[in-house]
Structure 1
Amino acid sequence: MDPSVVGTKLAAGLITPLVRKLFVSEGPGAGLVERPVRLSALVSFKGEKRTLGEKELRKLVRELVHRAARETREAPLDTAELEAVSDALERTLHALGDLDLDDVQAVRLGHEELAARLSAQAGTEALLRHLSADSAALFGHLLDSACLHILHFFTQRSAFVARTLVAQSRRLDELITRTALLLERLTSRTAQDADFEEHYTRYIASKHSSLTIYGIDLNESCDWPLDTAYLSLEATRDAEHEVRVLPPDDLLALGVDTSVTLSERRLPSAPQPVEQALAGHERVLLRGVAGSGKTTLVQWLAVTTARQERLTGQLAHLMGRLPFVLPLRTLTRGGARLPVADDFLRAVSCPLAGSQPPGWADRVLTAGRGLLLVDGIDEVPEQERARTRRWLADLITAFPGNLWLVTSRPSAVRTDWLGGDDFTELTLSPMSRDNIAVFVHRWHEAAGADPTMAEALLTATRTKQDLGRLATNPLMCALICALHRERRGFLPRGRKALYDAALSMLLERRDRERELTVELDEESQVELLQRLAYWLIRNGRAEMDRTDALNQLERLLPSMPYVSAQGSPEEILRQLLDRSGLLREPAAGAVDFVHRTFQDYLGARAAVEERDFDVLVEHAHLDQWEDVVRMAVAHARPDERARLLRGLVGRGDREERFRRRLHLLAMACLGHAAKLDPGVRDEVERRASELIPPRNAYEAEKLAELGPIVLELLPGPETLTDDQTASYVVLTACLIGGDSALPFLVRYRDSDSRSVLQQLASRWAKFDTETYANEIIQYLLGTPGIPILVRSPEELGALSRLGGHPYLELHGDFSGDQIVA
């Protein structure tokens, strides 16, 4: 049968009389203007004004179902099936009396959402589970049509217009209240505060208005205006804690019992623009790998808030706020005590600290006007993070109502580290293909490079899987652009080779045509820098005092006569700060590396030269040492690699608490071991196989970082019975992406698991558009309630050629015509 005709053939002739009987006759005034009236007070089969009994309701519903069935003459349903449809529809419509809605709220929902609410309220899923496909379709169309006419009936009631005016007045009143609150915040300032804030916001907007982009000019560092350089990335909520709940109608279509607690039916949220993800949350902990754009986001939020321009829509929560940028690497320098509110500016060496009115920061935060941007939990030494946690908790308790963004590397703090203070946890997603394309084109435009070079590089990132895996964050993307341009299209393979080439470019070639008082060759600079980097790593610091840096150089220079002849430790340090491109002076008396990635790379080289393999193994469980260990394996000789990897495996075997982390790290190191004893490699792979399948999204991400080698260890659908585990397996393969992952994913495209299908439907951007469309997407078309995530016009075009899909999520630049088509 074709039940799609039911909604049109029976629309007015049969359903409208039924709808009228479902509700009591409208009396004088209907009581709608004075106060909201719930649906439960309007239905005719409940409450004090019953005009329709439950037997009469059943009779009407049965007549509706049988007439609808007669209108559809192809393959008519038997009597038992029609009775089952009648039971389900009667039970669902009866739930009108239990919904906690009024008529205006119902109309605002729309008929489909109203039908979903009724189904969830009535728990009709158990009845539908035993219906045939035709019967379920008939029920669905009848319910949708009934709900459409119910809403139409509401809009025709005499009091509805008055009621909507009341609702609009209330929304206007709410807006006025919010505006009054904003005015109260601003007018509560003293004249002195207002003058200082004007000066302060101009300073913040200017200080953070540019980004340093590596490699555009080999002779000078290049700063991009933030407005041009800022690339809006995406974030996801933690798959195990912050998730999207499926609509009840989607659950019903899948045979899910909607009477159970909704938290038992959660699925990971889809990626969304990070600015959008931050909206609506007072406190956010944002995780992201090194170079992923956390600090850039902090800058953008600070500048946007300071300027107070275009703060509409998703940015309305920033109205009237004042930003405080608090980099923890600076606040904790030398074990310093974390500041109270009035010392924020002084602690970050803000030149306006001296002119700050007494008690100003306290007044701002007490009024709930602050946006506190706390950057870099991972840059706080491990032993000091508990103290930092207490500092944050004390500030939140003392000054409620402010907005907080705290950033960290993914593994620096455990899940729910700030959960007790109601922080929402988000994770920055890797750059998508579209992000990479935008970044590469902007970089080449800023560098004045040939546009064909940009296209050639984009082709390389899409066809060379190892390169594509590296170009997933802004830092690495910038280095790849610079090397690709300088080497006329030739790029080294692998992460270590890329860093080697980048260091050579930054240390040696920038000064090749300059006359300098101090002349340091590349090898000498690396030797000096790696000593400083290793001191920072050993001491768990991201910044060092200038006196500590000079002390390290003084101890090293006697063994480097060529360098010591060039000048004093002070002169050598100044040369490294001014010309290396890797070291900087973020504040008077402080020294750090321009990016943590370079610190880890150089520190690992020093650790290998010192043969500190036991030290590396001893600290390998700490997030600050993870990349150091990986790069140490890359720097080491074959016998040294074997020693280090055996140490990781052995410690993991002995210490259950760190077993998974250490064994996964050992597996990750294999990608940096060009030459290794086969026995050691087998030993590491055997331990890693015991960690598969992944148990959560974090483990899936860590496995994906290991690359295509993991695909050989992941189980197929025939060996997995748990849907959630299967979804993490598919997530791992999707994150690996590329041609090598596609054959594995094809095995899962016919899965019955909703979470598996949702992973497949949301990862199109990781693969070639046409290939993924033909191999995966076309097998998902028509699957109820599974939204396909579309990020580009090319993907939308491919979907259209396949015949389209009724559930879409569009993320990106699309014209109105494209969306409608």
Structure 2
Amino acid sequence: MDSSIIGARLASAAVAPLVKKLFVAESPGAGIADKPVRVSRIISFKGEKKTLTEKDVRSIAEELVARAVNSSDVFDRLPDYEQHAAVNALANSLRALGNLDMDDVQAVNLGYRALARRLKKNNESATIGLSRDAVTLYETVLDAACLHILHFFTQRSTFVARTLVEQSRQLEELSAKIDSLIARTPSPEYATFEQRYADYVTVRHGELTIFGINLTDTPGKWPLSAAYLSLEATIESADAAPSFVPAEQVLAGRKRVLLRGVAGSGKTTLVQWLAVSSAGKSLDDGLLYLYGLVPFILPMRTLTRKGMSLPRPEDFLASVGCPIAGAQPAGWIDRVLLEGRGLLLIDGIDEIPENEREGSRIWISDLIAAYPKNRWLVTSRPSAVRDNWLTSLDFSEFELAPMRREDITSFIRRWHLAAGAGESYERALLRAIVTKQDLGRLATNPLMCALICALNRDRHGYLPEGRKELYEAALSMLLARRDRERGMHEPGLLHIAGSYQVQLLQKLAYWMIRNGRSEMDRSDVIELLTRALPAMPNVADKGSPEEIYRHLLVRSGLLREPSVGAVDFVHRTFQDYLGAKAAVEALDFELLVSHAHLDQWEDVIRMAVAHARPDERTRILTSLLNRSDASPDYSHRLRLLAAACLEHATELDPEVRSAVQRSAADLIPPRSSEQAHVLADAGPVVLELLSEMQGLSDDEAYFTVMCAVRIGTDAAIPVLAQYRDLSDKRLQELLVRAWNEFDPNRFADEIIGHLADSDVYVPVHNAHELKALERLGGRSHVRLTGVVPLEELAASGIASRVTHMWISANIGLSCDCLTSFSNLQVLTIGLVHSELDVSALRGLRSLSVIKCVMGVNLAGVDTLPDNVKIEALESRE
């Protein structure tokens, strides 16, 4: 049973009198009280003012459960004895109100969910042996009752007289939660299907394919809840350094987001995480904004595969091959979207041809015009759509940030746990990532990290260098070694040599690239194989085109069927690699260059340069430069692309290399974030050009630092050091945020130690940075962003210097140890906490401001001195 369907009756005005009976009536003149009222003093079923009996309390519980049952189809599935048990458990929890050691203000600060958890602890054994539906019934009714109880507290004159100003933010939040609960309650007529759909989404998208873990007896997929790694997303600002938020929270406080990310950065995984989280209803504090939303995953490559028009809402499920689409009640999606309960996840704008993207924008615009209240996440590669492509539709634009060192370490450990690989491989790879900078540059997104992990184990620690070599090794591992080492070459089994499989896969990949697709019909795959096999008799003798296709699908590990009748590569990066190889073998250099201005071809051309022979590289790069001279509209893009290709040109005519570098030098310094990112993709060669820059404007210096940071090797530190004395706050914030990307001690000595102690927060990610910061004497503004316990910072020699503390890491925050920061003036809490008791700070005389994000419930605020202000953390921070 979906817990959110228990709302239509419980959220109505009719239930208010039931809740009101649990408390004594106010006497005349009650509004003059100057302190909050203890909850136990206003309970109506105990004490001197007792007006309710134990039987009355049970009657209220029975009525609340009855209203819940009548608002859903639960009575068709729940036996009477389980309904009675739910009533008993609810009555016991309501009686626990008389034992609460808190006042009404603290209860409101606590929040209705946390209050419900406290009441449940009074009788945890009440639900033992009950079915999941019965437990859900009890818990949801208790949640709703607690929400109304807190709302009742806020209406009492004693509460209002004491806390009207102090609690204004909490009142607004509580009111919003009530409204949200009502708004997100599905109609009973749709409840059964909605639960069925939620179960389907949870199962269908609840597993994550982790590259390489299927090379042993380990399953090829891993539960999303165990494998998901929270990454950061950044939003650019014209007058400030980029702001970072956890990627799964980009829609918290925002209705619409365009999220950009390079291939393999985790865009689709994030889409899965948001969909499964909203469908599952078991949300942690940071994802409460998803409560009651209905997710619709709409991959653009699937919606446009057959040249069909983009779907109307009623066709969303059918268009993605959802097997229960036929059972969808008439008018259900229209009702969901009208009520603003939709979570629309449009994945992969970059995976449709460029000439179709404006049509997709119009489609999104029309849907928003018809259904303006829903939440939207649209994903794309960075260069696929222009800046501000959806700004007129009130979309905020974020970009997935590269993985930090802690992220890479966490991913490697999770991968080895999932794959059941030995700890020796894990330790060796962790050392290699730190000591081999070229390898560290590659391991900046989940796909490349997984690829490196798989190859490290498969090749017993001997890793190839360079992106092309990694893919070559991966193909060898997938297409040849896996079957051989699994003993799959038994008589009677179809076997195709790895080189032939590569040839066939190249043809499929190149067809998709030429047609601007990331997915193709199964029938087209069979047709392509039918045409190719006569020229490959050694393969044709193995079986029919259908049998050959099944072998590629099952054994190669590179193809999959995302929906009935559809075929794609497990990741677009493999498609680009194989398609580029096919283009070079076909000598289609003019075709490559003629499409070089299209974002879908950028990675293809880079890989083509890697595959090509030296004279062919000369031809490609020279043609790119010539076209850049003849095409003013695309000149910058083509020259930057040529520069980015140099990283893959292991052997190249020196004159051609110099010509490409001179051409790129005209675009240095970078003057936008896009130019900074593309230049960084060219690799460390750009650092030589950046180091020669003099007399830059503030913006040029800022984007130059952005480019050097993104390159990410320690060779960038001398370039960054040139800008450490500039006073531009944006630039200083960019520098301190980059600390985690470099050797902590060297960066501290050459960058952090030279920055003025200003209002720029210095982040501390790990123990190495904490020790380095302590060696430098500390800073007044410190931001905890990693795994360093607050207790370690409090015990360090720099605690007394800290005046501004920003906590944005999930460190199990307790305010007790904050008392060690004797000069703390401003405390910023950048993550959502269901309950945070700040009463321990009452003796901290220096404290003047506590800032927190929306959703943090502060207890003990009334114990703080009157001069301490509680402020909302601005979203831009």
Whether 1:677 aligns to 2:650 is no
Q: Distance in 2 between matches of 1:269 and 1:673?
A: 32
* Match among 334, 349, 371 for residue 343 of structure 2: 371
Deviations 1:239-274 (A, max 9, x none): 44xxxxxxxxxxxxxxxxxxxxxxxxx112232321
Q: Distance in 1 between matches of 2:169 and 2:709?
A: 44
- Which residue matches 1:587? 563
Q: Secondary structure at the match of 2:310?
A: coil
Residue identity matched to 2:791 = D
Q: Secondary structure at the match of 2:250?
A: helix
Matches within 5 A, 1:193-204: 193-204=190-201
- Which residue matches 1:791? 765
Residue identity matched to 2:210 = I
Whether 1:400 aligns to 2:372 is yes
Residue identity matched to 1:720 = G
Q: Distance in 1 between matches of 2:186 and 2:669?
A: 57
Matches within 5 A, 1:616-655: 616-655=592-631
- Which residue matches 1:57? none
Q: Distance in 2 between matches of 1:168 and 1:806?
A: 29
C-alpha contact (below 8 Å) 2:765/2:788 kept by paired residues: no
Deviations 1:666-687 (A, max 9, x none): 1111111111111211111110
- Which residue matches 2:669? 693
- Which residue matches 2:737? 762
Residue identity matched to 1:439 = F
Residue identity matched to 1:702 = V
Deviations 1:141-161 (A, max 9, x none): xxxxxxxxxxxxxxxxxx999
Residue identity matched to 1:182 = S
- Which residue matches 2:178? 180
Shift of 1:443: 1.1
Shift of 1:219: 4.9
Gaps (5+ residues) in structure 1? 1-28, 34-107, 109-158, 241-265
Shift of 1:793: 2.8
Shift of 1:178: 2.3
* Match among 413, 419, 428 for residue 385 of structure 2: 413
Q: Distance in 1 between matches of 2:483 and 2:476?
A: 11
Whether 1:707 aligns to 2:683 is yes
- Give the direction of change, closer, same or farther, for the CA distance of 1:655–1:214 in structure 2 (3 Å limit): same
Shift of 1:738: 2.4
- Which residue matches 1:565? 541
Q: Secondary structure at the match of 1:508?
A: helix
C-alpha contact (below 8 Å) 1:32/1:162 kept by paired residues: no
Deviations 1:411-433 (A, max 9, x none): 00000111110000000001100
C-alpha contact (below 8 Å) 1:723/1:753 kept by paired residues: yes
Q: Distance in 1 between matches of 2:728 and 2:404?
A: 26
Q: Distance in 2 between matches of 1:446 and 1:161?
A: 52
C-alpha contact (below 8 Å) 1:292/1:473 kept by paired residues: yes
- Which residue matches 1:22? none
Whether 1:752 aligns to 2:727 is yes
Q: Secondary structure at the match of 1:214?
A: coil
Aligned residues: 641
C-alpha contact (below 8 Å) 1:723/1:755 kept by paired residues: no
Residue identity matched to 1:650 = N
C-alpha contact (below 8 Å) 2:250/2:257 kept by paired residues: no
Whether 1:297 aligns to 2:273 is no
Residue identity matched to 1:177 = S
* Match among 721, 742, 750 for residue 717 of structure 2: 742
Q: Secondary structure at the match of 2:229?
A: coil
Shift of 1:188: 5.2
- Give the direction of change, closer, same or farther, for the CA distance of 1:209–1:696 in structure 2 (3 Å limit): same
C-alpha contact (below 8 Å) 1:218/1:509 kept by paired residues: no
Higher mean displacement: 394-403 or 175-184: 175-184
C-alpha contact (below 8 Å) 2:283/2:291 kept by paired residues: no
Gaps (5+ residues) in structure 2? 1-28, 34-108, 110-156, 796-877
Q: Distance in 2 between matches of 1:288 and 1:750?
A: 32
Deviations 1:304-330 (A, max 9, x none): 101111353x32221211111111111
Deviations 1:471-526 (A, max 9, x none): 00111101101111111110111110000000000111121111363211011000
Residue identity matched to 1:189 = S
Residue identity matched to 1:672 = H
C-alpha contact (below 8 Å) 1:663/1:687 kept by paired residues: yes
Deviations 1:611-644 (A, max 9, x none): 1100000001111000000011111111111111
Shift of 1:735: 1.6
- Which residue matches 1:281? 254
Q: Distance in 2 between matches of 1:756 and 1:787?
A: 12
- Which residue matches 2:786? 812
Q: Secondary structure at the match of 2:195?
A: helix
Higher mean displacement: 800-809 or 480-489: 800-809
TM-score (norm 1): 0.75
Matches within 5 A, 1:347-358: 347-358=319-330
TM-score (norm 2): 0.71
- Which residue matches 1:103? none
* Match among 226, 229, 239 for residue 227 of structure 2: 229
C-alpha contact (below 8 Å) 2:767/2:788 kept by paired residues: yes
- Give the direction of change, closer, same or farther, for the CA distance of 1:172–1:477 in structure 2 (3 Å limit): closer
Q: Distance in 2 between matches of 1:541 and 1:738?
A: 35
Whether 1:500 aligns to 2:465 is no
Shift of 1:800: 1.9
Q: Distance in 2 between matches of 1:738 and 1:176?
A: 48
- Which residue matches 1:577? 553
Q: Distance in 2 between matches of 1:388 and 1:270?
A: 28
Higher mean displacement: 621-630 or 508-517: 508-517
Deviations 1:542-599 (A, max 9, x none): 1101111111111111110000001111111111111110011111111111100000
Matches within 5 A, 1:138-153: none
C-alpha contact (below 8 Å) 1:437/1:458 kept by paired residues: yes
Shift of 1:170: 4.8
- Give the direction of change, closer, same or farther, for the CA distance of 1:489–1:644 in structure 2 (3 Å limit): same
- Which residue matches 1:216? 213
Shift of 1:164: 5.0
Matches within 5 A, 1:256-275: 266-275=239-248
C-alpha contact (below 8 Å) 1:286/1:428 kept by paired residues: yes
- Which residue matches 1:548? 524
Deviations 1:28-52 (A, max 9, x none): x9x999xxxxxxxxxxxxxxxxxxx
Q: Distance in 2 between matches of 1:733 and 1:187?
A: 50
Q: Distance in 1 between matches of 2:523 and 2:249?
A: 44
Q: Secondary structure at the match of 1:750?
A: coil
Higher mean displacement: 730-739 or 418-427: 730-739
Deviations 1:60-107 (A, max 9, x none): xxxxxxxxxxxxxxxxxxxxxxxxxxxxxxxxxxxxxxxxxxxxxxxx
Q: Distance in 2 between matches of 1:607 and 1:816?
A: 55
Q: Distance in 2 between matches of 1:494 and 1:674?
A: 10
Identity of aligned residues (%): 54
Residue identity matched to 1:300 = W
Whether 1:386 aligns to 2:361 is no
Deviations 1:743-774 (A, max 9, x none): 22222222233333222111001101111111
- Give the direction of change, closer, same or farther, for the CA distance of 1:533–1:734 in structure 2 (3 Å limit): same
Q: Distance in 1 between matches of 2:174 and 2:465?
A: 59
Shift of 1:350: 0.5
Q: Secondary structure at the match of 1:269?
A: strand
Residue identity matched to 1:550 = I
Whether 1:480 aligns to 2:452 is yes
Q: Distance in 2 between matches of 1:163 and 1:784?
A: 41
Q: Distance in 2 between matches of 1:168 and 1:215?
A: 55
- Give the direction of change, closer, same or farther, for the CA distance of 1:163–1:712 in structure 2 (3 Å limit): farther
Residue identity matched to 2:641 = L
